[in-house]
Amino acid sequence: MVALNQSEVFDVVDQEDRIIGQASRKLVHEKSLIHRSVHILVFNSENKLFLQKRSLQKDENPDLWDCSASGHVDSGENYDESASRELWEELGIKTKIDFWIKLSASEKTLWEHVSVYKCISDEKMTLAPDEISDGKFWDIEELKSHIENDSEKFTSTLRIIFDRLVRSMDSG
């Protein structure tokens, strides 16, 4: 089991994403307190989407496919800083990322307000072994089929984000 830093401190926020306090990672998760996270979608130049398979050692959603990179926003950090940090820590890449959408906190997002970013990169990735057990680029239609047929193999947050992605591609 990866030694998670249960004493990490996150901002606790209200339903409108206003900071109302701070709490440890452990307390935030035990009490289902609303907090913040980022998810980054990395596409390559062939418009394939990279997904990571979360390590078995993760305290949330172990062994499930998830966005390219994701993580909590640390206390005092903003969404943009967190997204760039997570991209570097989990995939070893530094590239321009663009804010795309924001999801409101709910049970399906594990009580996280989620800012979602997108980028295009063909950089070689170095996967963080304590975070990620596998990773690969998926064709969008192939991924759509897998999510429809094996949804339990994907995190609930990824399923929400992917649904929004597919709808945005269909509408424009």
pLDDT tens track for 41-97: 999 999 999 999 999 998 889 999 999 999 999 999 999 999 999 999 999 999 999
Whole-number Cα distances in Å, 57 to 132, 142, 156: 9, 27, 18
Instruction: Please state the rounded mean pLDDT for residues 141-164.
Output: 96
**Residue range of the domain that includes 156:** 9-171
Of 148, 39, 150, nearest to 99 by C-alpha is 39
| Residue 4 domain flag | no
| Residue 61 domain flag | yes
Average of per-residue pLDDT values in the chain: 93
Does 171 score more than 80 pLDDT?
A: no
User: How high is the pLDDT of residue 170?
Assistant: 81
Q: Quickly tell me which residue has 């759509």 as its tokens.
A: 144
Question: What gap in Å lies between CA 42 and CA 64, rounded to an integer?
Answer: 17
**Cβ atoms of 67 and 39 closer than 8 Å:** yes
Per-residue model confidence as pLDDT tens digits over 95-132: 999 999 999 999 999 999 999 999 999 999 999 999 99
How many domains does the structure of the chain reveal? 1
| Residue 2 domain flag | no
| CATH code where residue 161 lies | 3.90.79.10
| Residue 140 domain flag | yes
